[in-house]
């Protein structure tokens, strides 16, 4: 079939058999293997480091930092010079030409948006840090040549998009939006076409039931790895495969596509990583690990942001502790992608079954008290549920009555991130969290887009000055970078190091990582007051102070070793 190992060809063929009839699966497999061979020599030159205690991702837009006369990607590279080795990897949110959703309606997967820079600028960012690229595989912009070609009846793009017929049952479809599932578009030749739009009229779902679409997407994925990505994030991937009468979410066809990509990566560049973005309840989310070795290398820990926020709002870690204690260790070669904040809001769907309705309402009240927004999702059969909370995570953490208290905001930000940094997996920190930003209510109001509350661009030179003069920014930034640098050298924080979640009472969250002399116990006070733990003794690595019995102040935390 090709020079690829027979095992890879067999794995790919198995997964194609889930999608297509026998002959189509065979032909598509042959074409995928030939495509992979075209990339083999380029990918063999890539050097990808495995995840370790030193791994920490910064989540950022390519245009997040600006400076007059400079491409934003160049500005980002200079900002990263200041951050240095506190961050190992940079997650570049969509950096391609786009028309809406702040980058997630992609016009051309293979080009860099000239407003942020060039492929050379991407390479510059990658000289000091490993890179994660975003792959918005589920949909494209309505201005994409793929879609405009489809509308124009270009044979190259026949069946590139989903146009369900009258017999296609969409009654059970699950979506994160309340807009219509299907939209009509005018064809240049006259008449209209109907297309599937999970996320809205400017984001049109591609049709991977057509093997040509799958081959195009696979070429994009391998191209990203060849262009310098160590990790590729599969955005909204759970919606990829459509089937009549189903939820069209997490279907076997979707898993088969990811498993095929994993098979190719295992063969071509095995240290690279796939991260699936599926903002759904925990059981569905972890299904993207497959058997632990055949699907995603990393899965978002989507339940973590709402549970950590709840712990501080309620002053009670019980929900977080119970959930964390129930987590099973990841299989070798896979791990959690832990985060608190991202470019999106605080997803509440993963909290379903973990938080009671009144506890969810308490988080809604907290965010709204800070001027934040709440986004809702449609449910099959009507109705809606809280989908996400739109707020700066750091603002949501703080007591609204103390919103101007920089010391309170900084302490709580560091305490929450101490939990993030303690858990098995790799941590990721959003750029506004790293730099202690407040949310931008004016941007949300002016745009009518709730998520813009946490997507402000930062003038790099003004930021430098604020890191000296602004108490909140400086305390959060200095505190987080110090924690990240201390974490780098501790074997206890290797992604797969042993984890034991302790129950020291609802006032604290406590977890022991590692074993023997290398073990570290992280204790975080979430109560909002002072907590006494007379039974705990050891040395706090962060202050080099010995404790026989621990007294934790408000939002205080310790990294304890037995010595």
DSSP 115-159: TT--HHHHHHHTTTSEEEEEE-TTEEETTSHHHHHHHTT-GGGTT
Whether the Cβ atoms of residue 289 and residue 251 lie closer than 8 Å to each other: no
Structural tokens at position 370: 């800070």
Q: Which of 314, 391, 323 is nearest to 351 (CA)?
A: 323
At a CB cut-off of 8 Å and minimum separation 6, what does 253 contact? Answer: 18, 19, 208, 209, 240, 241, 243
HSE of 27, CA atoms in CB hemisphere, 13 A: 8
CA distance 310 to 304: 10
- Is residue 358 part of the annotated active site? The answer reads no
At a CB cut-off of 8 Å and minimum separation 6, what does 458 contact? Answer: 64, 65, 66, 431, 435, 437
Structural tokens at position 259: 């498993």
Whether the Cβ atoms of residue 252 and residue 246 lie closer than 8 Å to each other: no
Q: Which of 235, 267, 344, 555 is catalytic?
A: 235
Whether the Cβ atoms of residue 451 and residue 347 lie closer than 8 Å to each other: no
Q: Which of 403, 343, 350, 391 is nearest to 367 (CA)?
A: 391
Total length of the chain: 563
CA distance 94 to 59: 11
Q: Which residue in this structure is represented by tokens 């057509």?
A: 210
The distance between the two most distant Cα atoms of the chain, rounded to a whole number of Å, is: 80
Q: Which of 242, 280, 274 is nearest to 159 (CA)?
A: 242
At a CB cut-off of 8 Å and minimum separation 6, what does 392 contact? Answer: 341, 372, 432, 433, 437, 438, 439, 453, 454
DSSP 496-549: TS-EEEE-S-TTEEEEEES-GGG-EEEEEE-SSS-EEEEEEEEEETTTTEEEEE
At a CB cut-off of 8 Å and minimum separation 6, what does 155 contact? Answer: none
Q: Is 456 helix (H, G, I), strand (E, B) or coil?
A: coil
Catalytic residues: 235
């Amino acid at each position: 079939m090709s020079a690829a190992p027979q095992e890879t060809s067999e794995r790919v063929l198995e997964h194609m058999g889930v999608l297509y009839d026998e002959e189509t699966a065979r032909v598509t497999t042959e074409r995928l293997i030939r495509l992979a061979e075209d990339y083999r020599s380029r990918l063999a030159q890539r050097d990808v480091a495995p995840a370790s205690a030193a791994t920490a991702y910064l989540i950022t837009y390519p245009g997040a930092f600006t400076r007059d006369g400079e491409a934003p990607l160049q500005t980002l590279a200079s900002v990263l010079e200041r951050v240095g080795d506190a961050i190992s990897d940079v997650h570049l949110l969509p950096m391609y030409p786009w028309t809406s959703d702040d980058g997630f309606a992609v016009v051309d997967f293979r080009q860099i948006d000239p407003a942020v820079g060039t492929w050379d600028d991407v390479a510059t960012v990658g000289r000091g840090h490993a890179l994660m690229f975003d792959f918005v595989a589920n949909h494209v912009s309505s201005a994409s040549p793929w879609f405009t070609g489809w509308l124009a009846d270009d044979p190259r793009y026949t069946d590139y998009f989903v146009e369900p017929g009258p017999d296609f049952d969409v009654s059970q479809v699950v979506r994160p939006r309340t807009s219509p599932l299907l939209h009509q578009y005018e064809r240049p030749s006259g008449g209209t076409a109907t297309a599937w739009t999970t996320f809205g009229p400017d984001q049109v779902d591609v049709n991977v039931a057509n093997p040509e679409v799958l081959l195009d997407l696979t070429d994009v994925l391998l191209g990203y790895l060849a262009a310098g990505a160590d990790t590729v994030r599969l955005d909204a991937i759970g919606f990829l495969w459509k089937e009549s009468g189903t939820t069209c979410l997490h279907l076997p066809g979707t898993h088969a596509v990811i498993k095929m990509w994993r098979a190719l990566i295992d063969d071509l560049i095995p240290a690279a990583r796939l991260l699936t973005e599926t903002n759904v309840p925990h059981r569905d989310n972890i299904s993207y690990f497959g058997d632990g070795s055949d699907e995603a290398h990393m899965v978002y820990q989507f339940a973590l942001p709402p549970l950590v926020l709840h712990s501080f709002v309620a002053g009670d870690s019980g929900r977080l502790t119970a959930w964390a204690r129930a987590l099973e260790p990841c299989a070798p070669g896979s791990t959690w992608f832990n985060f608190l904040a991202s470019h999106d809001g605080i997803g509440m769907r993963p909290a379903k079954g973990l938080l009671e309705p009144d506890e969810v309402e308490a988080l809604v009240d907290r965010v709204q008290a800070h001027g934040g927004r709440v986004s809702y999702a449609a449910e099959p059969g009507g109705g809606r549920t809280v989908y996400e909370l739109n707020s700066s995570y750091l603002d949501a953490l703080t007591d609204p009555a103390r919103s101007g208290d920089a010391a309170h905001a900084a302490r709580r930000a560091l305490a929450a991130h101490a939990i993030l940094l303690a858990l098995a997996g790799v941590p990721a920190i959003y750029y506004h969290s790293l730099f202690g930003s407040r949310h931008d209510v004016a941007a949300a109001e002016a745009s009518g887009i709730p998520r813009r509350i946490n997507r402000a661009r930062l003038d790099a030179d003004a930021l430098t000055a604020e890191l000296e003069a602004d108490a909140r920014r400086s305390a959060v930034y200095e505190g987080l970078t110090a924690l990240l640098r201390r974490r780098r050298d501790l074997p206890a924080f290797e992604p797969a190091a042993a984890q034991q979640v302790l129950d020291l009472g609802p006032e604290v969250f406590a977890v022991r990582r590692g074993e023997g002399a290398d073990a570290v116990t992280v204790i975080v006070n979430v109560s909002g007051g002072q907590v006494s733990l007379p039974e705990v003794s050891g040395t706090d690595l962060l202050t080099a102070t010995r404790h026989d019995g621990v007294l934790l102040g408000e939002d205080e935390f310790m990294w304890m070793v037995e010595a």
